[in-house]
Amino acid sequence: MNLAKYGWNSFHAENFKNYARQDLTIGRVALEHKGLYRLYTEHGELWAEITGKMRYQTVDRGGLPAVGDWVVIRILEGENRAMIHEVLPRKSKFSRKVAGAKTEEQIIASNIDTVFLIAGLDGDFNPRRVERYLIMTWESGANPVIVLNKADLCEDLEQKVREMESVAPGVPILVISATTGESMENLLPFLGEGQTVSLLGSSGVGKSTIINHLMGQEIQRVQEVRLGDDRGKHTTTSRQLILLPCGALIMDTPGMRELQLWVGEDSLQGAFEEIESLARQCYFRNCRHQDEPDCAVRQALMDGELDLQRFENYQKIQRELKYLALKQDHKASLIEKQRWKRIHRMMKKNKDRW
């Protein structure tokens, strides 16, 4: 099996040099299911699980294999399965905070070249949600492409495209209809052989329909969106890598209406560059853009040069990231304390033996 068609390149080959032994090889995670992983390998598709050592040494979920990862494996002799010993460094990764109160990273996808940020041109059109996806994409290291689907249902197309251009300056914007096939060929330049593309978007935007069209057959179940609010059900329940006839790999992800970010301040600045630029023109370096004199941001709002909803979303995400950073620092401190407790217990145990 030619692994280049599954995205293997010089970046991954260089990182594998440290593990190159006769009994070890590599595979790419195509699917994860209840602790088991389906891999693309040079020996065909195999099921694998992580070693006990790797499970013990992994501090949180971010260190476990994710769909898209290249992993170091040992194939079990006489069996059609393998053991995963290590995850190779990721070229890119998409992370979000796990649902609930835990401060923990959940990797959605890794080693992605391009992200199709899918937005519906129906009643669920939401530039604010796309802003959050863009922040995620800048953090990941992949290239974003905004795909506006359901063009056949839109009566004010030019207006919606302008709205999206205002939140994503410089980002390619493609308008398609996966249902009718309109302009689907515009996706092909991003789907070269060995390229990995991920689809991100909320439920009901048409991700499964897009994949079915690109595959030329129905491999993903499609459900109708609800009447009245244009929201769909989660037709995709797990992430998986799918090899397309054109040679690219595409990764569908479950719809994510509520996206809890796991990113740094730099990604926020990249997604809201015009606001950051205005803030640098304020008289005070620590301007809160409230009642301070000579505030360039507030002046832009009054002049209509800056959209109020976009600015409010910027402030909301900024507060969210500051709160997340505090929780991450607190968790890191607890982990460090636990580590030293284990070390002291081992030292005391060894001292008693002496």
Model confidence pLDDT, tens digit, residues 132-145? 888 888 878 889 99
Query: Comparing 25-39, 68-82, 146-160, 226-240, which segment has the lowest mean pLDDT?
Result: 226-240
* pTM summary value: 0.72
Distance separating alpha carbons of residues 274 and 99, to the nearest angstrom: 31
Tokens of 163: 């709205």
Q: pLDDT at position 328, please? A: 53
Q: Under CATH, which number does the domain 93-252 receive?
A: 3.40.50.300
Share of the chain above pLDDT 90, in %: 40
- The DSSP annotation for 253-316 comes to ----SS--B---HHHHHHHTHHHHHHHTTSSSTT--SSS-TT-HHHHHHHTTSS-HHHHHHHHH
Span 22-35, mean pLDDT? 90
Q: Which residues sit opposite 29 in a β-bridge?
A: 39
Distance separating alpha carbons of residues 159 and 4, to the nearest angstrom: 42
Q: pLDDT at position 112, please? A: 93
Q: pLDDT at position 134, please? A: 85
Model confidence pLDDT, tens digit, residues 66-109? 999 999 999 998 788 999 999 999 999 887 655 555 546 678 88
Model confidence pLDDT, tens digit, residues 232-276? 454 444 678 999 999 999 987 764 444 454 445 565 666 788 888
Does 2.40.50.140 match the CATH number of domain 3-87?
yes
Query: Comparing 12-26, 116-130, 182-196, 235-249, which segment has the lowest mean pLDDT?
Result: 235-249
Burial (0-12, 13-18, 19+ Cβ within 10 Å), 201? buried
Span 119-124, mean pLDDT? 86
Q: Is the pLDDT of residue 327 over 80?
A: no
Q: pLDDT at position 265, please? A: 57
Q: Is the pLDDT of residue 146 over 90?
A: yes
Share of the chain above pLDDT 70, in %: 76
Of 305 and 220, the structure prediction assigns the larger pLDDT to: 305
Distance separating alpha carbons of residues 6 and 193, to the nearest angstrom: 8
Q: Which element (helix H / strand E) includes 28? A: strand 25-33
From-to residues of CATH 2.40.50.140 in the chain = 3-87
* C-alpha dihedral, 132 to 138 to 142 to 147, nearest 10°: 40
Tokens of 22: 């006769």
Q: Is the pLDDT of residue 62 over 90?
A: no
Of 198, 233, 207, 9, the closest CA to residue 107 belongs to 198
Q: pLDDT at position 228, please? A: 47
Tokens of 233: 């059900």
Q: pLDDT at position 248, please? A: 94
Q: What is the mean pLDDT of the chain?
A: 81
Q: Is the pLDDT of residue 189 over 90?
A: yes
Q: pLDDT at position 220, please? A: 60
From-to residues of CATH 3.40.50.300 in the chain = 93-252
Of 253, 269, 255, 258, the closest CA to residue 135 belongs to 269
